[in-house]
Amino acid sequence: MSGDRPSPLVIERILRDRAGIWQQIVAEGDLNALTGRMLASSAIALACYGAVLGAFHSPLMALTSALKLPLLFLVTLAICLPTLYLFNLVFGARLSVRQSLALVMVAITVTSMLAVAFAPISLFFLITAPDYGFFKLLNVAILTLSALVGLRFLTGGMQVLNDHGLLAPEATRTQADAYAQVNVPAQAVPAAVPADPAPTAAPVTVQAAEPVAVPAGAVPAGAAAAGSTSNGAAATPPVPAQPSGQPAVAAFPPGMVPPGYGPVQRPWERPPVRRGEPTQRPASMTLLYIWILLFGFVGTQLAWTLRPFFGDPGQDFSFFRSIDGNFYAEILRTIANL
C-alpha cells in the first residue's frame, strides 16, 4: 500500500503502512489531502473522548469538553509549529511547512485515536467507580500514554527524513556528494583506448632443441611428420623455447605494465566510501526533543487555561474557570487527596 487511498480510516493506513506515509511526506505527494484527513479524524476522535470526560459532571459539560479537547490540541499545534519550522531552518534542514505540519499531524492523529480507544475503559470506571479524583488521574494517565506513543511516531518520522538527507545541512550534503564523486569505483571509469591499434608481437626466434631418444614403440607427438631413426628411436620435432601454454609476449620498456597484467582490485576489496559518521545526530533531531518538551509544557498550560474538562460535581457548571495555580500543582494535590 504505497499511495493514499480515499478511506475515512486514515489511522489504519498510518499503522499498517507507516513506511508509505513517511515516503509520501518525503516526496510531498498530495500532502494537503493527507493532512486534511488526519485533521478531521483527530478532531472527531478528540471530541468523542472529550464527551466522555465531561460526562462525569453533566451532559452540558460533556458537550463543552467535546468542543474544548480538539481545540486544545489544535491551538497547541498552532502555537508550537512555527518554532519547529524555524528550528529546522536555522540548522539548515530542508523541511517545508507542509512536511512539518504533516509530521506533527501524524503524531496528533495517533494520540487522538489511541485516546478514543481507551474511552470504553474510562466510561467503565465512570459507571462503576464514580470517584472524581480517581477519574481525573485515570484520564490524565490515558492522555499521557497516548501522547507518548504519538510522539514516538513523530521521532520515527523525523528519523526517516534524516535518512533521506532532509535534516542535513546543505554544506554537509554537498561535501559528501563531492567526496563520493571523487571516489568512483575503478570499474566505473572506462579504460583509455590508444589511438593507434595495438602493435603485433614481434616474431620470436626459436632455437632447435637437441634430439631426445625415446624407447622403441613409443611414438611421440609429431613423430609421424618428422620420421623415425633407423634404430627405432624417434627424434622429437623442434619445440619453442617458450613454455607450453604460455603465449609469447612482446617486450615492454622497464616500468611499463602490459594491458591486462596489472593487479585486479575486486569490488569487495575496495575501502567503503564514507559519507559521514553514522553515529552523529543532526542538530534538527536534537532540537526535535527540545521542541517536544516545549509542546508538552504549552499543552499542559493551555489545558489548565481551558479547564474544566471533567467538571467537579461539587461545583456548578461553568465554561471556564479563573486562572489560579498550574496543572502540575493540581495533579500533585489530587494525588495527595486520594
pLDDT at residue 234, rounded to an integer: 46
pLDDT at residue 162, rounded to an integer: 79
- Would residue 212 count as lying in a domain? no
Report how far apart, in Å, the C-alpha atoms of 306 and of each of 68, 197, 282 are: 7, 87, 36
Cell of 180: 563520493
Domain count, the chain: 1
- Would residue 169 count as lying in a domain? yes
Three-state DSSP string of 8-72: CCHHHHHHHCHHHHHHHHHHCCCHHHHHHHHHHHHHHHHHHHHHHHHCCCCHHHHHHHHHHHHHH
**For residue 171, what are the domain limits?**
10-180+279-337
Cell of 274: 564514507
Query: Over its length of 338 residues, how does the chain's per-residue pLDDT go in tens digits?
Result: 444 444 557 899 999 888 899 999 988 888 999 999 999 999 999 999 999 999 988 899 999 999 999 999 999 999 999 998 888 788 777 788 898 899 999 999 999 999 999 999 999 999 998 888 899 999 999 999 999 999 999 998 888 887 877 666 554 444 444 444 444 444 444 444 444 544 454 454 445 444 544 444 444 444 444 444 444 444 444 545 555 555 555 555 565 555 555 555 554 455 444 444 444 555 667 788 888 999 999 999 898 888 888 877 778 888 888 777 777 887 888 888 87
- Would residue 159 count as lying in a domain? yes
Cell of 8: 475515512
pLDDT at residue 261, rounded to an integer: 58
- Would residue 5 count as lying in a domain? no
166 in Cβ contact with 95 (< 8 Å) = yes
C-alpha angle 271/274/276, rounded to 5°? 160
Interhelix angle for 59-90 vs 31-54, to 10°? 140
Q: pLDDT by residue (tens digit) across 201-220?
A: 445 444 544 454 444 444 44
- Would residue 170 count as lying in a domain? yes
Cell of 19: 513506511
pLDDT at residue 158, rounded to an integer: 86
- Would residue 255 count as lying in a domain? no
Please tell me the number of Cα atoms within 13 Å of 71 on its side-chain side.
Answer: 13
- Would residue 117 count as lying in a domain? yes
- Would residue 257 count as lying in a domain? no
**Residue with cell string 499511495:** 3
